[in-house]
């Protein structure tokens, strides 16, 4: 959600240090993350480098906007979620960060 808000909405809710710390937690616990979430996140290497490649689901899109509204006091101006692809193995509909 943080990467989406940062890249697509110009509404960062975490500092770079906070994001890096959380990313490290995700990387260190990668084996305990569900295959579905792993698919959406990409890989540990991608998470370590940037959140730019994260796949955005409808739920993540709207949850991130609600989080920004709570944390920042406003809802970022961005279009509604639009699916760009669907993974046939997982059935996950997703968009990509537009940046």
The confidence band for 24, taking pLDDT boundaries of 50, 70 and 90, is very high
The confidence band for 47, taking pLDDT boundaries of 50, 70 and 90, is confident
Query: At 20, which helix (H) or strand (E)?
Result: helix 16-28
Residue found by looking up tokens 């569900």 in the block: 34
CB of 11 closer than 8 Å to CB of 76: yes
pTM of this prediction?
A: 0.84
What single-letter DSSP state applies at residue 6? Answer: H
């Amino acid at each position: 959600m943080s990467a989406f808000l940062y890249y697509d909405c110009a509404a960062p809710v975490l500092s770079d240090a906070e994001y890096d710390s959380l990313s490290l937690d995700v990387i260190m616990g990668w084996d305990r993350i569900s295959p579905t979430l792993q698919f959406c996140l990409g890989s540990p290497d991608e998470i370590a480098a940037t959140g730019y490649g994260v796949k955005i689901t409808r739920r993540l899109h709207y949850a991130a906007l609600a989080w920004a509204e709570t944390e920042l006091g406003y809802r970022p101006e961005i279009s509604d979620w639009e699916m760009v692809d669907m993974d046939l193995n997982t059935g996950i509909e997703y968009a990509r960060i537009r940046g």
